[in-house]
Amino acid sequence: MVELLQCRRLAKNLAGLSLLLCLAAIAVPSVEAKVRYHKWEVKYQYKSPDCYQKLVITINGRSPGPTINAQQGDTVIVEIRNSLLLEDVAIHWHGIRQHGTPWADGTEGVTQCPIIPGDTFTYKFVVDKPGTFLYHAHYGMQRGAGLYGLIKVSLPAGESEPFSYDYDRSIILTDWYHKSTYEQMTGLNSIPFVWVGEPQSILIQGRGKFNCSTPGTEADLCNATNPECSPFSLTVVPGKTYRLRIGSLTGLSALSFEIEGHNMTVVEADGHNVEPFVVQNLFIYSGETYSVLIKADQDPSRNYWASAHIVSRNSNTTNGLGIINYYPNHPKRNPPTSSPVGPRWNDTAPRIAQSQAIKALKGYIHTPPQTTDRVIVMLNTQNRIDGHVRWSVNNVSFGLPETPYLIALKQNFLHAFEQTPPPEGYDAANYDIYSVAKNVNATTSNSIYRLKFNSTVDVILQNANTMTVNNSETHPWHLHGHDFWVLGYGTGKFNISTDPKKYNLVNPIMKNTVPVHPYGWTALRFRADNPGVWLFHCHIEAHFFQGMGVVFEEGVEKVGRLPTSIMGCGETKRFFKP
């Protein structure tokens, strides 16, 4: 009876979903289902993921939220009720390209108005390729409050992966702050500037361990024996091979992940098969996903450490630790050894080497266009605007408009955002990327790049010095609505005359998130073939909040009629029909 009422409501609210189809999807075992339906309530709850109690945004009482399991070609439907009381919310389906459903991307200010407290909103989209993906809040800095989870998309029945394993497991890595996201955002927007600082903990699958003896810690808020913060434990059977899907949704930190005494063979990156290569530690940046193969071939009489260590920042945050539990040892039994220390935080060479090692697997290569129609060079800098510290692209710091771009463009509300296009480059001949800029002042804008539909676009991410002497940070950039070819990485200043000659046009990996390393550049290429409006931004929460992002529009005239449920803010208040 519950399923019947559920389906009647969905059939009424979602065009194209029949009552019979919904009932069939619920009746058939999930492995064969074509429609994957989820009903989520998003609300705050007190949790102690690292032993320190604070308010956490949960999905059905959980953080991380439930994993979405689907097969390639399935339709995913997620009905979300916002029970945050005083906060809006939106959820982005990270790595899902949203072909034909750009309004379901879940990006507040770009593809939809946020879901207001008390309202229910339904996302509906197709997962069009297999692999490991993510979901997370895309409103303010809510991702850092615990609203995130994993999406696992398997091949259709009867098809197999080009690598073999016995069991499929997954973990998400995050960093964790004790201050609320509101406190963090207030500091970032204050004069004088208050930086968020280093995280208090690193969480492995939502679990970490903060030292409750740290000076200044309120004793009644921190309990080292709380079972919520007992280490994550992954049980393995000796002799078996495991596919471990690893996703990172850190707010700030680049990480090195390793399993004591075990090699890892990288086989997938952001949903694309990789020419396998072996690592002892996997460098992973916020927004990235990988699959690695691990064989349980060590001494089975003991357990082993899994460790996540911060790199690229001189952090004093304790490593995140988990346990690889060799059955039949007790899953809570600590390994007899000291946990791995991890690589030096400022050793960039192995990080660049790993980035360059990721190539598409033979037989699964998507050959890129050999030439491009447009080149946009994006200088990443830290700046000041009216006394505020901001991040910028080509000296322009980005801000979201009140009316989401997708709606403004479809409704011809061109007055809703600035029409002067953003710059396509910077004064490369005279800009010294190794020094603090002579003039650190920048401007703000919410203008966008308008791309010719089906054209080929190159983006060069150019890193530089921050406003601190001898400092350049790692920035992971994520593109919504697309996968792109990673054509190359380099150190120093990109040379537009000679560096393109070094591009990998034979077997480049396709990804949706890519790092630009300190004082370096990263070149990527994509086809503007997905009608819609798509955000491209640094996946560090504070950096995007401070303006480190741009927006691409392509073929928006080809987008179908927009659902009124995405409206209700800015110029669209009169169109909203819940």
Strands 167-176 and 148-154 come out as unpaired
DSSP 303-316: -EEEEEEEESS---
Q: Taking the domain 374-558, which CATH number applies?
A: 2.60.40.420
The C-alpha atoms of residue 427 and residue 424 are separated, in whole angstroms, by 11
Rounded average pLDDT per 10-residue block, the chain, 578 residues: 44 43 42 82 98 98 97 97 97 98 98 97 97 98 98 95 97 98 97 98 98 94 96 98 98 98 98 98 98 98 98 97 98 96 96 98 97 98 98 98 97 95 96 97 98 98 98 98 98 97 98 98 98 98 98 97 95 70
What are the E-state strand segments in 3-74? 35-47, 54-59, 68-71
At residue 482, the pLDDT reads 98
Residue in the structure block whose two tokens are 């939809």? 112
In single-letter form, the type of residue at position 7 comes to C
Closest CA to 273 of 169, 132, 99: 132
One fold for both 33-159 and 161-364?
Answer: yes
Q: Taking the domain 161-364, which CATH number applies?
A: 2.60.40.420
Burial class of residue 342, CB neighbours in 10 A (0-12, 13-18, 19+): middle
At residue 573, the pLDDT reads 82
Give the residues across from 246 on adjacent strands.
Answer: 171, 290
The C-alpha atoms of residue 492 and residue 60 are separated, in whole angstroms, by 47
At residue 32, the pLDDT reads 56
Q: Where are the domains of the chain?
A: 33-159, 161-364, 374-558
At residue 464, the pLDDT reads 98
H or E element that contains 294: strand 289-295
Question: What are the two backbone dihedrals, phi and then psi, of residue 571, each rounded to the nearest 5 degrees?
Answer: -75, -5
Q: How far apart, in Å, are the Cα atoms of 544 and each of 120, 481, 527?
A: 27, 18, 24
Q: Taking the domain 33-159, which CATH number applies?
A: 2.60.40.420
The C-alpha atoms of residue 35 and residue 18 are separated, in whole angstroms, by 11
At residue 27, the pLDDT reads 39
Q: How far apart, in Å, are the Cα atoms of 229 and each of 180, 201, 215, 316, 322?
A: 19, 11, 20, 20, 11
At residue 575, the pLDDT reads 66
3-state secondary structure of 544: helix
Give the residues across from 477 on adjacent strands.
Answer: 514, 538
Burial class of residue 120, CB neighbours in 10 A (0-12, 13-18, 19+): middle
